[in-house]
Amino acid sequence: MNEDYYNESDIVKDFRLPCLCTNNEEKECSLKELSKDKHTILYFYPKDNTYGCTKEAQDFRDSMDYFKEKFVVCGISPDSIESHKRFKQKHDLNFYLLSDKEKTIMKKFNAFGEKKMYGKVRMGVIRSTFILDKDLKIVKSWRNVRAKGHVEKIIEWINKNI
């Protein structure tokens, strides 16, 4: 078990980040505020309005009828709230978008680090998803995922386990 970042079965310490809420309100939100006694899906993605990130966001948007009763969905990237506003408006997104410009929370989830892309190693956001229970315990994690088809895998796992 690596003590440097969160793993499955760890309890996530509450944190605060700038947030674009589902009603377009901008404020700083804590994880506990957002979870509202529901399970939470935290998904980390590299950049607003890029192909893979847009596809993943649209898949979450299109699946919100499935998630909304028991889950809160939060997308986290290093993009600014202004960028999130454009992303949300352009794609009619219906979940929370959080801004982790300093990548502090990403690093705690091991969602920022070395990536290999086109044969080159560089630092960047590692597309990852975590499901937290009502007590903020990580019950499932996916690291270094492909955007296409990922939301369907999450739903499949939830149907079998929650």
Q: Give which of 64, 80, 61 is closest to 19, Cα–Cα.
A: 80
**Residue 32 neighbours by CB under 8 Å, 6+ apart:** 14, 136
**Token couple for 37:** 């006694």
Cβ pair 45, 57 in contact under 8 A? yes
Catalytic residue among 19, 29, 53, 74: 53
Active site residue 53: yes
Between CA 73 and CA 96 the distance in angstroms is 6
Cβ pair 108, 138 in contact under 8 A? no
Backbone φ and ψ of 143, nearest 5°: -120, 145
What's the chain's Rg over C-alpha atoms? Answer: 15
Which residues are the active-site residues? 53
